[in-house]
Structure 1
Amino acid sequence: MSIFAEVPQAPPVAVFKLTADFREDTYAQKVNLGVGAYRTDDCLPWVLPVVKKVEKMIVEDNSLNHEYLPILGLPELRSAASKVALGDDSPAIKDGRVGRREGHLNMGEILHLRRKLFVFFDSAYQGFASGSLDKDAWAIRYFVSEGFELLCAQSFSKNFGLYNERVGNLTVVAQDKDNLTRVLSQMEKIVRTTWSNPPSQGARIVAITLNNPNLFTEWKGNVKTMADRVLLMRDQLKAKLIALGTPGTWDHITQQIGMFSFTGLNPKQVHYMIKEKHVYLMASGRINMCGLTSKNIDYVAESIHETVSKVQ
């Protein structure tokens, strides 16, 4: 008997199972609203033009190699990513600490002392919400300005289209340099026992882009292109559902931000959408707005209308 005979079969990962089912579906009008990646209006993956440009630069740069990176990652990425999150003029970057207002009980102190909470931001879609990097980072920068110590996890998977590179950064805002140094020393220990050394390809793409003013400007334009299409699809889907007289209210479609929208469809309705209308979405009712196009949005709106009208 195999030593693996008692290993139970794990259920499939929902989003990947959904994509596999979509690929096997032969229906001509099928629509995939489950995948967490940007799509063009032709429903095709989009490699950002700035990414293509930087990849070519990397290939042609004979000074680059595949030596180990510093244990905390590519320095050029770490510093530039923190500036994207906190802003070039952040005191946390200029002074190496979070500035504190002497003699003033600030919001950070109230949160820490009374509620015993620690601030952690997950910045996975900066630029995707409004099309503006600065506007989307407002909350992070406000907390820093109010004297909070915090962690900010950044992902560049979505706003660079680097889904399989998994480029990220963890920004630590501490009260002073001494605290920061000790925190980073513990992070080095954690990194050493987990992945030991990070991959460089995606990190270099992001670092080169963020540190070059011209490339940075081009990237912001690429991000706005993606964000504007998402905002357009939100407006159009809501308008079409209202025009159809679809039961319920649909303001949440335009009130929500980012790549995804929680439609409010329940599991039974989701099942109907998939099995009867061949529109694939998560069981939670979440859809990827990037999966909508000028060619399929009418069909999707009509499918939602039929589903909500028939299935309770």
Structure 2
Amino acid sequence: MIKCLQAESSPGDVIILHAAAHNPTGLDPTKDQWKGVADLCVQLQLFPLFDSAYQGFASGNLLEDGWAMKHFLGREGLEMGIAQSFSKNFGLYGERVGALHIKSNSTEIGHDIGNLLERLARSEITCPPLYGARIVAQVLNDPKLFAEWERDLVTMSVRIARMRREFYQRLVELETPGHWEHIISQIGMFSYMGLTREQVIVLREEFHIYLLDTGRVAITGLTMENVDYVAQSIDTVVRRVTNVNNSA
């Protein structure tokens, strides 16, 4: 990624970064790698825009999953934005609750950005629904509810990690052809399985297991009740449709 930015970016370019639990790869940069990206943004005068949709789902800890954003915010002179969504980590997907945070280098610029965003919101939305936003506001501003939410995030992140291990173990026990270690090395809601489009189509049409043509699967859709069926179905399809592409 750094080589690509060095070769193709120009001052003022916006680069979109996932804060944690990267969708769709499930692979996050290390802290040292994040520092390198921040250095490059300062050097090349880039504008990083963080997509923060899964905070708490990577490690189960809000601060840990927010480390990259905090590091970038602390870099002097670096203007940036954060598009924060509460759809997943609050279970409010149908309410579309979120916030846009902009860090600018001057009060005047910040004022102008605020005015522009108000005009855009007025022309495109006018009056967004308040129900979901009020739920989030109440939880964030009530210490007891906030602590309960943090515990819920730990529960969810632990469940995701457990289902990754269970899924991987089933494929190992079945001796499914291919390499599957990436399932447990990745984190978050999604995983690239390394399946071909042809294999994905058979999984959909014959076994009613639905994933994208790219082979991306939602780990959160796995349960202890269906993980055996999913693993056995993938094993069957991989053996039957032999043009395997899972070198992840």
Q: TM-score, normalized by length of structure 1?
A: 0.63
Give the counterpart letter for 1:137 in structure 2. G
The residue that corresponds to 1:142 in the other structure is 71
C-alpha distance in 2, partners of 1:194/1:229? Answer: 38
The residue that corresponds to 2:31 in the other structure is none
Give the counterpart letter for 2:48 in structure 1. V
**2:194 corresponds to 1:269:** no
- What's the CA shift for 1:136? 0.8
1:166-177 alignment, distance < 5 Å: 166-177=96-107
- What's the CA shift for 1:117? 2.2
The residue that corresponds to 1:130 in the other structure is 59
Structure 1 or 2, whichever has the larger Rg, is 1
Give the counterpart letter for 1:126 in structure 2. Q
Give the counterpart letter for 1:184 in structure 2. G
C-alpha distance in 2, partners of 1:152/1:111? Answer: 15
Q: Which stretch shifts more, 246-255 or 152-161? A: 246-255
The residue that corresponds to 1:210 in the other structure is 140
C-alpha distance in 2, partners of 1:122/1:110? Answer: 18
The residue that corresponds to 1:179 in the other structure is 109
The residue that corresponds to 1:241 in the other structure is 171
C-alpha distance in 2, partners of 1:161/1:195? Answer: 22
The residue that corresponds to 2:129 in the other structure is 199
Secondary structure of residue in 1 paired with 2:170: helix
Deviation string for 1:124-179 (max 9, x for gaps)?
A: 01111111111111111111122321110011010011111000100111223332
C-alpha distance in 1, partners of 2:212/2:119? Answer: 38
Secondary structure of residue in 2 paired with 1:153: strand
Deviation string for 1:71-112 (max 9, x for gaps)?
A: xxxxxxxxxxxxxx9xxxxxxxxxxxxxxxxxxxx9867525
C-alpha distance in 2, partners of 1:182/1:109? Answer: 27
C-alpha distance in 2, partners of 1:236/1:298? Answer: 9
**2:162 corresponds to 1:232:** yes
C-alpha distance in 1, partners of 2:91/2:179? Answer: 32
The residue that corresponds to 2:32 in the other structure is none
Distance 1:242 1:233, change over 3 A: same
Q: 1:154 aligns with which of 84, 88, 93?
A: 84
Structure 2: give runs of 5+ residues left out of the alignment.
1-18, 20-35, 244-248
**2:225 corresponds to 1:295:** yes
C-alpha distance in 2, partners of 1:252/1:180? Answer: 42
| Alpha-carbon contact 1:233-1:289 (below 8 Å) kept | yes
Secondary structure of residue in 2 paired with 1:119: strand
- What's the CA shift for 1:280? 1.9
**2:149 corresponds to 1:219:** yes
Q: What is the alpha-carbon root mean square deviation over aligned residues? A: 1.9
Q: 1:258 aligns with which of 175, 188, 209?
A: 188
Q: 1:119 aligns with which of 15, 40, 48?
A: 48
- The percent identity for this pair of structures is 45
Q: TM-score, normalized by length of structure 2?
A: 0.78
C-alpha distance in 2, partners of 1:130/1:110? Answer: 26
C-alpha distance in 2, partners of 1:184/1:108? Answer: 25
Higher relative contact order (CA 8 A, sep 6+): 1
C-alpha distance in 2, partners of 1:163/1:227? Answer: 17
| Alpha-carbon contact 1:107-1:146 (below 8 Å) kept | no
Give the counterpart letter for 2:65 in structure 1. D
| Alpha-carbon contact 1:165-1:202 (below 8 Å) kept | yes
Runs (4+) off by over 4 Å: 106-110
Secondary structure of residue in 1 paired with 2:88: coil
Deviation string for 1:203-253 (max 9, x for gaps)?
A: 000000001111000011112211111110001111111222111111211
